[in-house]
Structure 1
Amino acid sequence: MSSQPGKSLTEAERDQRVLELFHQLIEVEQRLIPTGLHVFGRPTEVGERADMLRMIASFDRPEAGVRALPDLVSENLGLGSYDALLKSASLNQSRVLEREQVNNLVSAAIHEFLQGGSEVAVSLLERTSNINRQDSMPVFALLEQISKQLETNNEVEALLRALRGEFIEPGPGADIVQNPAILPTGRNTHAVNPYTIPSTMAFDRAEAVAGNLLKRYLAENGRYPRAIALVLWGLDNIKTQGEGVAQAFWLLGVRPVRDSLNRVTEVEAIPLEELKRPRIDVVMTVSGIFRDLFSPTVLLLDKAVRLVARLDEPPEMNYLRRHVLEQVGNDVCRFDDAVARVFSNAPGNYGTNVNFMVTDSQWERDETLGDLFVTRKCFAYGRDSQGCAVEGREARAEMDQALGRVEATYQNIDTFEIGITDVDHYFEYLGGISKAVETRAQVRPSIYLSDSLSRDGRIRSLEETVRLESRAKTLNPKWYEGMLKHGFRGVAEIESHVSNTFGWSATADAVDDWIYTGVAETFVLDEAMLERLRTLNPHSAHSLVGRLLEAHGRGYWDADVNLLGKLREISGSLEDQLEGVA
């Protein structure tokens, strides 16, 4: 967004900058954020329910015969499809205003629905957007059902039934926007059949996301990435029915093949004429939970890699085959070693411990974090050329070789509820593998995340995502005031967000100075806020200040000298309070 110093902008450039800024503001405004922690046994509050219903209504629900509300509004106003409106709004100011008109009408309809019911909302859209009742009524019939379920909470009753050894009704586990069938809460969450992964719908959705990922890299670098490191988690693929797996397939240029029982047991190559781009070399790091829950899928991923590596195709159109042949020729190693691309922990082990090393400040050199990641994750899975199972064979050299070629790292974000600063596992995995790549390739990779639940399968850089999370949550009064309602635990949650943001500095140097400055000004230098924090939870308040000082000490934050002096003084005051001196 910043222009070069001393360079004046033309009127067109200035207008484009303002348009970009407006888009960012809208993105923050429309972000679905929690306004507090979930309290066991307590139903969703009205304000949060409105945000959820608006997001749920923003997607087609073919299983319920329901169309997305923004699509209905946009089309009946004569503005065309909402997806086209989203794309053109980035280039045209009038289209921006039209998108705002659609969004405002959708929000107004949801508000009227919560205040007066379906009939009132349907009538509003009929008057303002020319939408026929038969088109909009199914939307609000679905929202009425979901709203009632959000008002219901069976968690305490279900817990008591479980303690008595009674039956608990099963239910799917997913993001509420993605699958409202998870409601009501208080049910026994079940997983998915691993042989159905990826589902047909997940594979179709993944095409757009994988395509956008490659387009983003192509636009920034002038060519496709030759190798991408991909992070796959078990719970995420349960919730999306294997969308992350499907993205790996699309990058490799293969599709799943189903048998007569609808099980995915084979893969087949998508012809290059149909793919219209090179096949990407994909290095997959799967979590321990993924390894345990999706062992057939792990074998399928390995099978896909081996299939692509054996295709008789030009090396400039099949980067995986090119790299395998180069390694076999240069290192005189076996094909089975050169083709290893699916890595996880040793059997029975979980996690990378990168998060613990960062939060405990137990590292001196940057490469230590990447080395720890590889040490924990360098175990290969799949089958060898003779068909024998490879279940956790230590393959550090092979992983080092594969990561040394990686030019981009990537992880799919599958939920509106948990972002990359909410939990430490994101920087543990995506940050850890990015640092491992940087050390081995001697250059920092491009780091991307996808918002697979967005309408346009949006791809963001890590830096963009950290900025969005900071604006929408950490520095947003709506978010932190919601947390502070929970007292001790709320302050701990704020400190956790700051520490997780720091984790992205440690593993990827992806946090701007203004974010740390904003944290200091919001939570520490504001005397009234600091008093609230130290009263509710002095331990977390002290940790938060300490994390800011560590960020400066490690060179992640170029802070003002006077500001640092105040932080050190406040840190000492909090330490005295904890030790009973003050």
Structure 2
Amino acid sequence: MDSEILDGIFHKDTKEIFSSFESYAKWYIGNEHIGNYTWIGISTHRSNFENNNLKIEYALIDSLENLGFKVIPIFNYASSEKDSNTDIKDFREILETYFYFEKNIIIEALINLQMVIAIGNDKYDNVFENAVNIFKEIDIPVFRPIVSFYNTIESWENDISGVSQELSSAFTIPEKVGMIEPIIIGCRNEDGLYEPISNRIERFTKRVLKWINLRKINNKDKKLAIIIHNAPCAGVESTIGLGAGLDVFQSVVNLLNKLKVQNYFIENIPRDGTSLYKLIMKKKAYHDFRWTSVEDIVESKGCLYEMPLKGNEGYMNFYNTLESNVRKDIEKTWGSPPGESMVYKNKIIITGINFGNITVMVQPKRGCYGAKCTGEVCKILHDPVCPPPHNYIATYRYIENIMKANAVIHIGTGGNLERLPGKINALSSRCYPDIVLGNLPNIYAYNVAIGTEGIGPKRRSEAVLIDYLPSAFMFNKDFCELVKLIDTYFEAKLTKSNQEYVLKEEIEKQIGNLKVIQELMNGEESFDKRIKEVRDCLVQQTCTSTLENLHVLGEIPNYEEITSLINEYIQNQDKYKNYLKPLCKNDFYYKELILNIIEDILNKSPNLEVKYGKINKAILEELQIEIVNIYKNLLLCNEEILNLIKALEGKYISPGLSDVPSDNLKNIIPTGRNFYLLDCEKVPTKEAYKVGSYLSAKLIDKYVSEEGKFPEKISMNMISTDISQGKGEQLSQILNLLGVIPVWDSSGKVQGISIIPLKELKRPRIDVIVRISGVLRDSFPSVIKFLDKAIISVASLSESEELNFVRKNTLKLQNYLKSIGEMDNIDRRSTIRIFGDKPGAYGAGVDLALKASAWEKEKDLAKVFVQFSSYAYGEKLNGLDTKHEFIENVKKSDVSYEFSNNKRNNLISCSFSSTVQGGFKILKEIWDSRELKQYHGSTKDKDNIKISLLKEELKNNMKETLFNLLWKENMKTKGYKGAADIMMAMQNVFSWQCTSEIVDNKDLDKLVQIYINDKEMFNWFKDNNPYAIEEISRRFLELNERKKWIPNKETLKGLRRAYIDIEGDMEESMEGSKGETQGGNIEIVTSKDISAWNKQLKDIEKILK
């Protein structure tokens, strides 16, 4: 090639290089009109052209042209900025030269194959902002398929981790500029040349076609499927419309109304979210479960389509196109089509409700079948990577092939499509998200604060995310005024002021105006004692902020929500906290000061400098600027629905950062963007390591004070939020326990570790086992390898075993493995300390067994925990099955440890914590009569970093939520969703008690009295979500039957009466039901009753014996 040619258009059918679109078009289409065709641009490296390394580009051209497109393939240096000393074009010039015609963009989409992003001379210094700015201007989808540099096709096909060693180039950088569809289309061969993967090329180009169709088809002709979620294991009927922080039903109604304005054909839109919920429940337009049979669904008209097996629209027509090993895998679990799930008269039942060209559906169950929840039907309990059932696959095939939908929209965080088995990323045609989704454009409304989970849909189901604002945790000004009034009253009493009686009258008046707290004034106690209880409740609420206002997609938050969100952010910023907090007598008054400042700034109150004279003028001015800017961006939240509609038009969606409001509100708004995660190359940060070191010291001190010796081994649960939100605080704690410190370069990037000398450490090195979540495994594999290397480094130190417990336990594990004849790679296996889910699986399994009542003794739960958790991660491990190593590590532990860094989550809101911590405890205590110490670390309040007993933290969380009158009343305002949230919190209490037995009997009594035996509350449940109160009542009866709770006799009587009442109502509502259902029966089916499951646990059973 002429070395002077730096860029140009090429084509596989000619050796000519074209220097303009016009010259290329003349060769390509002759005298035909350019507007007769749909054009797509491909941009690749100049080096690929120079080295004739273009097989992938040629394969793309062929595939796109076969689909009817005209293609403009270019090579260029477009990732370089304009240099006046060379003829290298910047990206704007590249666009204008090759992708514009008569000053208009001619291409409908751009496929970017370059390693680096496109940039150009622009007003932004940041190269990412430059790219986003250009992509927003051309407003077309920018696709970034993956071409693996490190894998051959064979190595990629055999690697469950996909291209995890290339996360930055394959995902992180493209996501940061809003590029989409990360489908692998090629790999390097052994000669260093790129080879296309033909079936991946075909999948990619067909998905490009679908996106371009969205640009071409009139809205009135578009068909869409809106899919909402539920939590099947918690209860299908009780949890429809789940979405973290989102009012899903109202959001769907709002979306339908907006789409109708945009000329989509929609009819019979429900009046509001409650009407939509009632319609779904009336028609039973969801999956079968305990109280709903497939016959009931058909009878109630919740069936959209009865899919036959044969014929052009039959299931077998698609099923037979699957690879034989995939069909074999499905049939091993679910039998031959149609299977047993959602089958009526040998047809597969697809549920949902049509509203013209828009269909609303509830996502199917992924791991079980039938109108029951037992150890028999819970197939995912038998095998954590079992495929989805036939009806699950059929549902999405109905959407694409029969309904002919142009796109699918998932509403609300927490679906299961993205968690189906398969590679961690860079999926193959044998991965189930790929099989199920087909070629449907996937647009997904997702909570901006839950970034690591949201990355899964992007990387495993090609989702374009439309992020939405997290719910506002309300800060009530009236509560603040009442607390101050009560404080003034007690001060007046102390000084014997004559204002005491006036203040008492004013307190009674204010309490009378706040109906939500009037219940606290009931009782026989003195006035002073009752108002002190009121004060304590209000202060706790103000400082912990657990009163949630759900967000509605596309709705601008109201004034109180805006001030609460800003308050959550401002009060957490060190630059303000370090200056303002010392001006206040306690945390409550600090939070109130921040709220007052926010309101005065937003209300443009005069004389701020006078009113806040104690505050430095520069600080006050900075607060004004930041608060006003945040306020303006919060007013743009209507862009959530507008951008979702824009995505449905096949346009570019700008990227945005994912984070929690308390840490980064100003950078996560306006919402409605396609969020990304920051790269973890600076994790842990220096600040995080300081926090982690402090946690480490406090944890050791607590154990030593209680046990009189150092802990030798600690078992930890670790989830992804430590990296994405905590910037590695728990990671740093682990490193410090090991006695190592990260090495940072001048920019803050972590380059490696340094061993802290024992003389400096002044204590032994503590051994740590880490049970990681599946999301952490998928999102941050480099962090896992970094930690693994640190563990290996410490294990290899030539130090005394009494000063290096990592080395001591490594040698013990070597001896154990030798003793049982496990000699293969023994040195490496003895250093394994990081374990998690089986590749392609998610969850600890224990929660499934608990919800299905699939256990008799704790040992049954221990076996499930090992089955789901004993896969090793680290350098060259990739989920190696290591049951012996996992069990040995856990049983030698002295401590188990849980960690929290975010006020929005706690031990009551997350089931994963209870199953992992409970798993550690049960597994340990099978072997050892010594109690496993359970601790909890919290950095929710950086001014009060705590290490406490896990039991104490759980009790505090219950006090903040389930025992909190204000929280309960807040839940009641949410109706069906609030009842579901209470139910899931109570299920988590059930889980904690079954596995760890750390809830006092009196507290369990109290929960039953508040939520079941209280007639008003019981009736509220019956009116809003009877399935929820049935589940709660049944779980507490089960606790009693399993002797996990010894209740007060009267409490138990009340519970039994309540259950008879609700069960009677449920059975009455089912009169005329034609199918068999489990209802409220508790059927204990364990692995010994299911041969296939028993085989899975055979090896574990031998080890445990």
TM-score (norm 2): 0.45
Q: Which residue is equivalent to 1:344?
A: 836
Specify the SS of the correspondent of 2:553.
coil
Call closer, same or farther: CA 1:396–1:120 in 2, change over 3 Å. Answer: farther
User: Using the alignment, how far apart are the partners of 2:657 and 2:812 within structure 1?
Assistant: 45
Residue 259 (structure 1) shift: 6.0
Q: Which residue is equivalent to 1:377?
A: 869
Give the AA of the match of 1:547.
R
Call closer, same or farther: CA 1:150–1:418 in 2, change over 3 Å. Answer: farther
Of 750, 774, 798, the residue aligned with 1:264 is 750
Matched, 1:247 2:733: yes
User: Using the alignment, how far apart are the partners of 1:536 and 1:244 within structure 2?
Assistant: 40
Of 978, 982, 986, the residue aligned with 1:490 is 978
User: Using the alignment, how far apart are the partners of 1:403 and 1:381 within structure 2?
Assistant: 16
Do 1:256 and 1:267's aligned partners in 2 also have CA atoms closer than 8 Å? yes
Give the AA of the match of 1:474.
L
Matched, 1:461 2:949: yes
Q: Show the 5 A alignment for 1:155-234.
A: 155-180=640-665, 181-234=667-720
Call closer, same or farther: CA 1:361–1:29 in 2, change over 3 Å. Answer: farther
Cα-to-partner distance string for 1:415-452 (whole Å, 9 max, x where unaligned): 21122211322212333233323334443322222222
User: Using the alignment, how far apart are the partners of 1:115 and 1:74 within structure 2?
Assistant: 18
User: Using the alignment, how far apart are the partners of 2:597 and 2:581 within structure 1?
Assistant: 19
Call closer, same or farther: CA 1:170–1:254 in 2, change over 3 Å. Answer: same
Q: Which residue is equivalent to 1:499?
A: 987
Give the AA of the match of 2:615.
I
Cα-to-partner distance string for 1:38-65 (whole Å, 9 max, x where unaligned): 433344455455554444333344xxxx
Residue 533 (structure 1) shift: 1.0
Call closer, same or farther: CA 1:45–1:476 in 2, change over 3 Å. Answer: farther
Do 1:112 and 1:121's aligned partners in 2 also have CA atoms closer than 8 Å? no
Q: Which residue is equivalent to 1:273?
A: 759
Give the AA of the match of 1:225.
P
Do 2:962 and 2:968's aligned partners in 1 also have CA atoms closer than 8 Å? yes
Matched, 1:447 2:934: yes
Do 1:109 and 1:125's aligned partners in 2 also have CA atoms closer than 8 Å? no
Do 1:327 and 1:338's aligned partners in 2 also have CA atoms closer than 8 Å? yes
Specify the SS of the correspondent of 1:184.
coil
Residue 113 (structure 1) shift: 2.9
Q: Show the 5 A alignment for 1:2-41.
A: 30-41=543-554
Q: Which moved more, 1:524-533 or 1:441-450?
A: 441-450
User: Using the alignment, how far apart are the partners of 2:626 and 2:570 within structure 1?
Assistant: 9
Matched, 1:360 2:873: no
Specify the SS of the correspondent of 2:981.
helix
Unpaired stretches in structure 1, ≥5 consecutive residues: 1-21, 78-97, 384-388
Q: Show the 5 A alignment for 1:84-123.
A: 98-99=585-586, 103-111=588-596, 113-114=598-599, 117=602, 122-123=608-609
Give the AA of the match of 2:849.
M
Of 1027, 1039, 1060, the residue aligned with 1:539 is 1027
User: Using the alignment, how far apart are the partners of 1:120 and 1:209 within structure 2?
Assistant: 45
User: Using the alignment, how far apart are the partners of 1:361 and 1:37 within structure 2?
Assistant: 32
Call closer, same or farther: CA 1:31–1:268 in 2, change over 3 Å. Answer: same
User: Using the alignment, how far apart are the partners of 1:463 and 1:24 within structure 2?
Assistant: 21
Residue 462 (structure 1) shift: 1.5
Residue 151 (structure 1) shift: 4.7
Do 1:434 and 1:445's aligned partners in 2 also have CA atoms closer than 8 Å? yes
User: Using the alignment, how far apart are the partners of 2:783 and 2:714 within structure 1?
Assistant: 19
Q: Which moved more, 1:283-292 or 1:202-211?
A: 202-211
Call closer, same or farther: CA 1:326–1:454 in 2, change over 3 Å. Answer: same
Do 1:175 and 1:416's aligned partners in 2 also have CA atoms closer than 8 Å? no
Do 2:539 and 2:588's aligned partners in 1 also have CA atoms closer than 8 Å? no
Do 1:288 and 1:350's aligned partners in 2 also have CA atoms closer than 8 Å? yes
User: Using the alignment, how far apart are the partners of 1:121 and 1:362 within structure 2?
Assistant: 66
Give the AA of the match of 1:31.
T
Call closer, same or farther: CA 1:401–1:25 in 2, change over 3 Å. Answer: farther
User: Using the alignment, how far apart are the partners of 2:1035 and 2:966 within structure 1?
Assistant: 23
Q: Which moved more, 1:236-245 or 1:365-374?
A: 236-245
Give the AA of the match of 1:535.
D
Cα-to-partner distance string for 1:377-431 (whole Å, 9 max, x where unaligned): 1122224xxxxx2222211111111111111111221221122211322212333
Of 622, 628, 639, the residue aligned with 1:138 is 622
Do 2:813 and 2:885's aligned partners in 1 also have CA atoms closer than 8 Å? no
Residue 495 (structure 1) shift: 0.9
Give the AA of the match of 2:913.
Y
Give the AA of the match of 2:907.
I
Q: Which residue is equivalent to 1:67?
A: 576
Cα-to-partner distance string for 1:258-297 (whole Å, 9 max, x where unaligned): 4688653522211223322221101011122222222222
Matched, 1:405 2:892: yes
User: Using the alignment, how far apart are the partners of 2:694 and 2:556 within structure 1?
Assistant: 35
Specify the SS of the correspondent of 2:661.
coil
Q: Which residue is equivalent to 1:435?
A: 922
Matched, 1:309 2:816: no
Call closer, same or farther: CA 1:573–1:168 in 2, change over 3 Å. Answer: same
Cα-to-partner distance string for 1:78-119 (whole Å, 9 max, x where unaligned): xxxxxxxxxxxxxxxxxxxx43xx632541441353256476
Give the AA of the match of 1:391.
N
Specify the SS of the correspondent of 1:282.
strand
User: Using the alignment, how far apart are the partners of 1:149 and 1:551 within structure 2?
Assistant: 48
Call closer, same or farther: CA 1:141–1:507 in 2, change over 3 Å. Answer: farther
Give the AA of the match of 1:30.
C
Do 2:601 and 2:627's aligned partners in 1 also have CA atoms closer than 8 Å? no
Give the AA of the match of 1:72.
Y
Q: Which residue is equivalent to 2:336?
A: none
User: Using the alignment, how far apart are the partners of 1:526 and 1:269 within structure 2?
Assistant: 59
Call closer, same or farther: CA 1:361–1:36 in 2, change over 3 Å. Answer: farther
Q: Show the 5 A alignment for 1:377-396.
A: 377-383=869-875, 389-396=876-883
Q: Which residue is equivalent to 1:14?
A: none
Give the AA of the match of 1:133.
K
Q: Which residue is equivalent to 2:1002?
A: 514
Do 1:31 and 1:472's aligned partners in 2 also have CA atoms closer than 8 Å? yes
Question: Which structure has the highest helix share of the two?
Answer: 1
Specify the SS of the correspondent of 2:839.
coil
User: Using the alignment, how far apart are the partners of 2:731 and 2:673 within structure 1?
Assistant: 27
Specify the SS of the correspondent of 1:340.
coil
Greater Cα radius of gyration, structure 1 or 2? 2
Q: Which residue is equivalent to 1:57?
A: 570
Do 1:470 and 1:515's aligned partners in 2 also have CA atoms closer than 8 Å? no
Between the two structures, name the one with larger relative contact order (CA 8 Å, sep ≥ 6): 1
Cα-to-partner distance string for 1:95-147 (whole Å, 9 max, x where unaligned): xxx43xx63254144135325647669547635xx333223432343334334
Call closer, same or farther: CA 1:280–1:470 in 2, change over 3 Å. Answer: same
Call closer, same or farther: CA 1:184–1:223 in 2, change over 3 Å. Answer: farther
Do 1:35 and 1:478's aligned partners in 2 also have CA atoms closer than 8 Å? no
Q: Which residue is equivalent to 2:783?
A: 297
Do 1:173 and 1:190's aligned partners in 2 also have CA atoms closer than 8 Å? yes
Give the AA of the match of 1:39.
V
Q: Which residue is equivalent to 2:1058?
A: 570
Give the AA of the match of 1:270.
I
User: Using the alignment, how far apart are the partners of 1:291 and 1:496 within structure 2?
Assistant: 26
Do 2:717 and 2:913's aligned partners in 1 also have CA atoms closer than 8 Å? no
Residue 29 (structure 1) shift: 5.0
